[in-house]
Amino acid sequence: MVSEMDVVESARSRIAWRLLPFLFLLYVANYLDRTNIAYATLGMKGDLGLTDSIFGNASGIFFIGYFALQIPGALLVERWSARWLLSLTLITWGALTTLTAFVHTPHQLYGARFLLGAAEAGFFPGVIVYLSHWFIYEDRAKAVARFMSAIPIAYILGGPLAGAILGIHWLGTPGWRWLFLLEGIPAVLLGIVTLFVLPDRPNEAHWLAPNERDWIASRLSDERRAKSHAGQMSIWQALRYPPVIILTLGLFFCYSGGYIFWFWMPTLLKRMTGWSDSHIGWIGAIPFIAGLIGMLVLGATSDRTRERRWHFAAPQLTAALGLAAWFFLPHSNAILILVFTLIGFGTVSYLPAFWALPSAFLTSSAAAAAVGFINCTASIGGYAGPKIFGDLSQRTGSFNTGFIMMIVCWIIASILVLVCPRERAS
């Protein structure tokens, strides 16, 4: 006879191995398409006449479109279908990425980036809600860590790939245009595959045994009842819930500093070292290797200790201290790589612990709406940070003022999440 422990372990293992690799692959495609502008700008700045201010605005305007559709995306996963929402989202953003290859003016670039943000908006909050339909609380940060490890992997793979593509000039077309063309196609293909491989709920998973389906459904139902004090909230009450507001503000400042680094790093390396585009592509992968290691380690320790807030704050403070050290250490390429590695660790490894917090406070539609609200509102920082950094660079002729802004953002983010009330885990 199969013991209950065997059923539990088998269900948890099957769910993780069946869902997370595919969701991981989707998120790699997502971040390649969202951030390829960071490398494309090394070639497109001259062709389109982009100043630092224009580039900062073009990078960040993605998040204005992204802002609009986050909550609807999360709610559609909760109330309709993750499979259909994610499929349509992938196909749409992949098509828009390829169309970005045909822009000829800064305003056309603004439009393409805005529409891309709107197309991608429902993906991330939708997946976070989707994971809460499959993973029990003590597994959730590890699941988020494995899914979100796609972010550093996308940079680790995307940097060298972009560096190589920027060097081509096929059919009289510069490499930066081929970068958008080639990196949009996988999202379209994956969107089609999603319809056939991604089940919405455990009761649709033919690869789970009946007793495994019964166990996961019962356990998740028990967790929802244990948080019934939050589950009885309306959506609008959840959005006014003080921990949700605090988390939103903390993530806003986190994103403000983090997206500066993610979008500007290739440009920073180019100007501060004079390296070739190909060299920058390879060196630019190093900070995200550190981020990947940190994400997996901190995601596991966060679940083991059931602590989330310091697992968010410590990486943020590491990034702040690493960048502050640049002002005091003798400048060299080796020191620059070390500083960027600390920043890469800090701007990636906090993610699993942070996104395990909302479902600890809330459940069902309230949690879905809160995830969408937190991410969409905080994502305004993804617009504000790169834009302000570009304006400051153009106005002062130096990156130092922007660096100070990044340090301040990460410190404020840490303080806000640390003062957030403790979660009530089931």
- Pick the closest to residue 192 from 91, 123, 278, 284 (CA basis): 91
If DSSP codes are grouped into helix, strand and coil, which group holds residue 90?
Answer: helix
CA 132 to chain CA centroid, nearest Å: 17
How many CB atoms sit inside 10 A of residue 242's CB?
10
When computed from its CA atoms, the radius of gyration of the chain, rounded to whole angstroms, is 21
Q: What percent of the chain lies above the pLDDT cut of 90?
A: 49
Task: Please name the residues in contact with 18: beta carbons below 8 A apart, sequence gap of 6 or more.
Answer: 205, 207
281 closest CA partner among 176, 174, 148: 176
DSSP 61: T
User: How far is it, in rounded angstroms, from Cα 387 to Cα 389?
Assistant: 5
Please tell me the distance from the alpha carbon of residue 86 to that of residue 123, in angstroms, as a whole number: 6
CA 116/CA 399 separation, integer angstroms: 28
Q: Residue 203 carries which DSSP code?
A: G
| Residue 230 confidence (pLDDT) | 43
Alpha-carbon gap, residue 365 to 77, rounded angstroms: 10
User: Residue 353's Cα: distance from chain center in Å?
Assistant: 13
- CA neighbor of 407 nearest in space, from 261, 286, 262, 292: 261
Structure-token match 């559709």, residue found: 69
Per-residue pLDDT of the chain (426 residues; tens, 9 = 90+): 557 777 888 888 898 899 999 999 999 999 888 888 999 998 898 889 889 999 999 999 988 888 766 667 667 777 777 888 889 899 999 999 999 999 999 999 999 999 999 888 888 878 877 888 888 877 877 787 788 888 889 989 998 999 899 988 889 899 999 999 999 999 999 999 998 988 988 888 888 888 888 888 888 887 777 665 544 555 566 667 788 889 999 999 999 999 999 999 999 999 999 999 999 999 999 999 999 999 889 988 988 888 889 999 999 999 999 999 999 999 999 999 999 999 999 999 998 888 878 766 665 556 666 776 787 789 899 999 999 999 999 999 999 999 999 999 999 999 999 998 765 544
Q: Which residues contact 6 (CB under 8 A, 6 or more apart)?
A: none
Q: What is the CATH number of domain 4-418?
A: 1.20.1250.20
Q: Coil, strand or helix: which one is 149?
A: coil
Say if residues 19 and 25 touch (Cβ distance below 8 Å).
Answer: no
pLDDT tens across 114-148, in order? Answer: 999 988 888 887 887 788 888 887 787 778 778 88
Q: How far apart are CA 28 and CA 180, in angstroms?
A: 15
What is the pTM for the complete model shown?
Answer: 0.83
The tens digit of pLDDT for each residue in 313-363 reads 999 999 999 999 999 999 999 999 999 999 999 999 998 888 878 766 665
Q: Indicate the domain borders of the chain.
A: 4-418
